Amino acid sequence: MKDLSLYGFIALIIVIVGGINWGLVGLFNVNIISGILGSLLGRLIFIIVGVAAGYLCYLIYLDKTKKT
């Protein structure tokens, strides 16, 4: 997974931002995404983070099956 396409790189950035947000939720009970964007738009962002994580899992799967 060293050579990411543009979509892969964007998905990686989205997942990193989502992971940092969930870390803040777990540690301090502070939800930055929903605090900035509101409840409805924040929920949409969480859906996008989930889709990006699924896409990265798919890329990892493709990478692992290609090597064997």
- pLDDT (tens digit, 9 = 90+) per residue, 3-61? 889 999 999 999 999 999 999 999 999 999 999 999 999 999 999 999 999 999 999 99
The predicted structure's pLDDT at residue 1: 59
Residue 59 contacts residue 8 (beta carbons within 8 Å)? yes
Cβ neighbours for 46, distance < 8 A, ≥ 6 positions apart: 18, 33
Whether the pTM exceeds 0.75: the reply is yes
Condensed to tens digits (0 to 9), the pLDDT of residues 45-61 reads 999 999 999 999 999 99
How much is the pLDDT for 68?
59
Residue 66 — very low, low, confident or very high, per pLDDT cuts 50/70/90? confident
